[in-house]
Structures are given as C-alpha cells and as structure tokens.
A = this chain, B = another copy of it.
Amino acid sequence: MSLPDIESVQGRFGAIDILNAPGERTTDEAVRGNRIDFSHGDVEAFPPAPSATAAVNAAIARGGEHAYSRYRGHASIREPLAERLSCFTGVPIDPSRELIITPGTQAGLFLALSSLIGLGERAMVIEPDYFANRRIVTYLGGKVVPIPLSYDDSTTPATLELDRIRAAAADGVKVLVLSNPNNPTGVLYSADQLHEIAAIANRHGVVVVADELYSRLVYPGHTATHLRACGIDPDLCITLLGPSKSESLSGFRVGAAVGAPAVIDRMEKLLAIVNLRTSGYNQSALHSWFTEPDGWFDDRTTAHQRIRDDLVDVFTNAPGFRVRATEGGSYLFPCLPQMTVSPAEFIDELRKHTGIVVTPGGEFSPHHGGSIRLNFSQDHARAVDAARSLVQVAGEFAT
C-alpha cells in the first residue's frame, strides 16, 4: 500500500531535499583516500573551549535545576549572555524580552522565518546565501524574491543590489533574510550597505533576519558590522548568533536569537511545539561563550587565516579556478574551471576517488552551480593536501 494522502504536502517537502547537505554525504558511508569533509568543520582540528564542555558536564551532574527551563531558556544563562551579546553587537539587549536560546542557530532561522512568513508571502533572499534560507521560505509556502550579490571582483567590497531591495520593499515585500559574513562566499557587507538596508527597512517596515553566525571570525583588514547597530528599528531586526561554528560547539545544538520582542515571543511559542526547549543541560555551553581565556579566539582566527591563505594560493595558482579570499567565517567558494564533466559529476568523482567532500554551489543559488563551497576549519596540512588533490582531479577533466 502506498502512503495515502500525504501527496498534498508533497510540494512543501519538495523544497527541502537534503542529498547535498553538510555531513549527509560522508557520515555512515565508507569513502576511500585521504578523506576530508569540507562540508562542515572538523572539531578535532579546532576543539571546543574546555570551559564550554566543562559547563555542560557540570549542568548534567547538577541535574534537576538544569533539566527544565522556560522555553526561551534559563534566565541564569540569558541574563549574562544578553550583556555579552550587547557588547559584541553594540546595542543593548533586554534578556527577558529580546533574547531566546535556540537549539542551534539553524533552529533560530527556522523559528524566525516561520514567525514572519505567511502562505504566499514574499521574502527577499540573497543569491548566493545559506541554502536553508530559500528552502525554509519555500517550505513555509512563501515566495523567494532573489537579491543578487556581486563578489567576483576581489579588489572592491562585495555589494548587494540595493535598488532591488528598495524596489521589493516599495512593492510590499516585508521580510529580508541574509547571512553576514555571507555563507558561502565569506564576504562581509560594508557599514554603508547595512545602513542603507536599515533605512529601507525602517521606511517600508521590512523585518530583516540577519544570520551573523560567523561574525566573530573576521580576518585582519575587515570588520563585521552588526545590522542591529546600523540604525534599524529594534522591532524590525532579528539577529541570529551561536557558538556552533567558530567555537566548534555544533554538537551541542545551542544558539541565540536577539531582537524584536514580538518576533521573539512568536519564536518561543513555536519552539514550544517544535522542540519544547533547547536541551536544558546544553544551554550551559553558552556560559563561557565570549569569556574564553585571553587569546583563545585570536589564536583560532590566526590559525584559520593561515589555512585560508594557503588554500587561496592553491586555487589562485590552479588553471581556470577563480577564488576570493574569505573576509569572515571559514568558507571558500571557488569557481571551478571549464571541464569535460559537469560540476555535479566532478563533485561525485572527487568524492568517490579521493574521499574529499565539498558542497555544490547550486545549493546556495540557482546561478552558482559552477562553484563549490569548502569549510576550511580543518586540519591545516590535510586541508591543503586535499585542495591540491581537488585541483589535480579537476585538471584531469580539463577542456
């Protein structure tokens, strides 16, 4: 007997295939060669701060008082966290009204967009951007209004087409979602662009969901500007943050969303039926976030910068590849050379013969199928070797 009647939700699910999603291609699957999974960071190469894991262990040991919390998270964690995130983002945060602890930043994104997008409503999505953005909008029955990002010219700041945002806002589109640093390209938006976006949002009442998951990992010569500090109406901005990536705490599934109280309230209501709450114990992983030992995060940034520089060298010197150096975060998004096989076939061959996993650019935009995303938060030497192998395999398919 085939499944009855769930065909009516088929469309909703058509938007959210997971074949190329991070981790799905390698875990539980035997691969050959110098296996390296560029689809997500390697927490062996960059382990969590000991204080974070110790805090979770302590919460588990203390038991009862930590198991349950309000849906939006323990007040004892939200209060000091609000203060630290206020410092980091440059605008005060009321821990009782403007902060919710989420089961990972992914959940923050799902909860925020679900709180904002009704059936048939439109949302501006950057191309390219984190692949879940357009998937969630589509899953919710919303319509994607694409906003192109120009980043090809490494000598100038990457730019969003503000005229397109202005026109969409004037036409009644009420939601904009963007990641900054941008995932997959690793570019940072300029303060000028973000002030302009804030002004458009204020003028037209657009709510902006700013996914700033990687905004702490910024390389010399660049600055992460927080949209919430760019003059946007506090009721029109939700900022997503979390220690999953740069701080290697993804295994705990904890994150935070700060901003518009009315949206935070909705996110909490939805969290209650989706998940109840972020693991009561794991919330303690946030206790030491931004309070790690002096130099711990700086060292991490420096180590990532060195890997970035070496990988950029490999791709810059490889025939036909184009790459822009990452400004924030740990992604590179090189454009592949012309080959005798399609990018999908290349990615497949690469994985089968070398065990190297990368994420297809088509996951991030319909127009970027010629690029691949690499998370370079890896063991330095192995990452460089793998990048060289990748270039070599591409060479075998040279036109």
List CB contacts (< 8 Å) of A300-345 with chain B.
none
**Least distance between A64 CB and chain B CB atoms (Å):** 4
Stretch of A13-21, A157-165, A386-394 that contacts chain B: A13-21
List CB contacts (< 8 Å) of A251-295 with chain B.
251-253, 260, 262-263, 266, 268-270, 272-282
List CB contacts (< 8 Å) of A104-150 with chain B.
104, 106-107, 110, 114-119, 121, 132, 135-136, 139, 141
Nearest B residue to A29, CB-CB: B70
CA–CA, A236 to B12, complex, Å?
Answer: 20
Contacts of A71 in B (CB 8 A): 18, 21, 23-24
List CB contacts (< 8 Å) of A218-254 with chain B.
233, 235-236, 248, 250-253
Take A12-B118, A236-B1 as given contacts and tell me if A106 and B276 are in contact as well, using a CB distance cutoff of 8 Å: yes
Contacts of A2 in B (CB 8 A): 235
A4 within 8 A of B: yes
Nearest B residue to A133, CB-CB: B273
A42 within 8 A of B: yes
A80 within 8 A of B: no
Stretch of A52-60, A84-92, A180-188 that contacts chain B: A52-60
A151 within 8 A of B: no
Decide: B6 and A269 in contact? CB cutoff 8 A: no
**Least distance between A266 CB and chain B CB atoms (Å):** 5
Decide: B60 and A40 in contact? CB cutoff 8 A: no
Take A3-B263, A69-B27 as given contacts and tell me if A103 and B272 are in contact as well, using a CB distance cutoff of 8 Å: no
Nearest B residue to A266, CB-CB: B13
CA–CA, A269 to B141, complex, Å?
Answer: 16
Contacts of A1 in B (CB 8 A): 202, 205, 233, 235-236
A171 within 8 A of B: no
**Least distance between A43 CB and chain B CB atoms (Å):** 5
Decide: A253 and B3 in contact? CB cutoff 8 A: no
Decide: A274 and B272 in contact? CB cutoff 8 A: no
Take A13-B266, A263-B6 as given contacts and tell me if A56 and B60 are in contact as well, using a CB distance cutoff of 8 Å: yes
A199 within 8 A of B: no
Task: Select which of B64, B75, B262 is within 8 A of A44 by beta carbon.
Answer: B64
Contacts of A22 in B (CB 8 A): 68
Take A106-B274, A135-B273 as given contacts and tell me if A251 and B280 are in contact as well, using a CB distance cutoff of 8 Å: yes
Task: Select which of B5, B6, B28 is within 8 A of A266 by beta carbon.
Answer: B6
Contacts of A195 in B (CB 8 A): none
CA–CA, A320 to B106, complex, Å?
Answer: 50
CA–CA, A355 to B42, complex, Å?
Answer: 48
Contacts of A248 in B (CB 8 A): 67
Decide: B5 and A205 in contact? CB cutoff 8 A: yes
Contacts of A70 in B (CB 8 A): 23-24, 27-28
CA–CA, A139 to B276, complex, Å?
Answer: 15
What are 9 A-B contacts defined by CB distance under 8 Å?
Answer: A6-B263, A18-B269, A18-B272, A23-B70, A56-B60, A104-B276, A136-B273, A252-B279, A253-B277
Give A contacts to B, CB under 8 Å: 1-6, 8-9, 12-13, 16-18, 21-24, 27-28, 40, 42-44, 47-48, 53, 56-57, 60-61, 63-64, 66-71, 74-75, 103-104, 106-107, 110, 114-119, 121, 132, 135-136, 139, 141, 174-175, 202, 205-207, 233, 235-236, 248, 250-253, 260, 262-263, 266, 268-270, 272-282
